[in-house]
Amino acid sequence: MKFPIYLCVLELFASILLAQEKQIDFNSEKNIKKFADYLFCDKDYLRAAEEYQKLNGYEGNDTIIFKTGLSYLFIGDYSTSIDNFSNISSLSPFYENSKLERMKAQFLMNDYFGMRSFYNNNFPEDDSLSDRANRLFTFSYLITEDRLPQKEKFLLPFNSIEKEKISSFYDWKNDPPYKSSALAGILSAIVPGSGKIYTGDISDGIFSFLVTGVFTFLAYDNFRAGHDTRAWIFTGLAAFFYGGNVYGSIAAAQIYNAKITFEFNKGLNVFLESNNYFVPVYEFCN
């Protein structure tokens, strides 16, 4: 009965001793690369990038440089990502892709002007990835305040499914449905609260009208009754509420415009995500 137990304990000790005896060099270049590749495929890009960085001695290995760049791109360290993509030689099979990934990194770090100038200098029309790069290039005009190209030319790089949505983005950008803050102020100056109703804040507009109206009535009523002190207090309050209502209507128009811009930008982001503009197509993990 005791024999199997002794055997079991002995086996456990032996396995630990054996494990310690067999030295594995975890820091060898081969093992670091293996581990980094594992982390990369496991989408642990932060640690994968750290491991790939240890392989800086691997000069000329463009796969490692490219995957390092991708790892930094995925974790949002765009400038380091661009540095890595820039190090890829023009003779490398990854060269074309590295240019596109560099453009994506510049796009994501909001460096649209840099991205456009890079596109103009590095993507001739016969480039295999020119179409995809051109879509990013063109799309950036929807984000910046630059003058838009002609609509036909603008829609050219996009496919038929994308064109409909891009066309509506183009129209919005060309003529955004903003509300005029001057008009909102003028409307509220004429009829208190109407400027806020114009900007879509209907309940705020009604309350502005009521508050200003009530204090104006109290002032008028007290003047009529001969209570001059109270009447002047109410006049002052009515004047302040009236001024606040005009001021608030101008501010409400500005906030409305900010909301419209926010929703437009949100729509752009949803479009980019749903059309997989930034999803890589490389098969490193199969």
Partner 1 sequence: MIKIVLIIISLFTITAIAQTDWVKWGKAEISYEKKDLIRHKDYSYHDISISGLAVKTLANAYWFFVSDLDGDNCPFSPTCSSFLLQSVKETNIVQGTLMFFDRFTRDYNFIERYNRYPRVEDGHYYDPISLYTLNVKKINYIPPSTVVKQ
- Is residue 259 close enough to count as binding partner 1 by CB under 8 A? yes
Burial of 4 (0-12, 13-18, 19+ CB in 10 A): exposed
Tokens (6 digits) for 168: 């509506």
- Is residue 190 close enough to count as binding partner 1 by CB under 8 A? no
Cβ atoms of 87 and 99 within 8 Å: the answer is no
Q: Shortest distance, CB of residue 252 to partner 1, whole angstroms?
A: 9
Cα 41 from chain centre? 25
- Is residue 14 close enough to count as binding partner 1 by CB under 8 A? no
Tokens (6 digits) for 92: 């490398």
In terms of CB distance, is 44 or 162 closer to partner 1? Answer: 44
Number of H helices, E strands in the chain: 14, 0
What are the distances in angstroms from CA 83 to CA 45, 47, 108?
17, 18, 15
Among positions 18, 19, 91, 281, the unique one binding partner 1 when judged by CB under 8 A: 19
- Is residue 176 close enough to count as binding partner 1 by CB under 8 A? no
Cβ atoms of 151 and 170 within 8 Å: the answer is yes
Q: Shortest distance, CB of residue 258 to partner 1, whole angstroms?
A: 4
Query: How do the residues of the chain divide into helix, strand and coil, expressed in percent and rounded to 5?
Result: 75, 0, 25
Q: Shortest distance, CB of residue 51 to partner 1, whole angstroms?
A: 13
Among positions 211, 218, 219, 231, the unique one binding partner 1 when judged by CB under 8 A: 211
CA angle 164, 168, 174 (to 5 degrees): 140
Q: Shortest distance, CB of residue 203 to partner 1, whole angstroms?
A: 4
Of 221-250, binders to partner 1 (CB under 8 A) are 240-241, 243-245, 247-248, 250
DSSP state, residue 28 = S
Q: Shortest distance, CB of residue 186 to partner 1, whole angstroms?
A: 15
* Binding footprint of partner 1 on the chain (CB under 8 A): 1-2, 5, 8-9, 12, 15-16, 19, 201, 203-204, 207-208, 210-211, 240-241, 243-245, 247-248, 250-251, 254-255, 257-259, 261-262
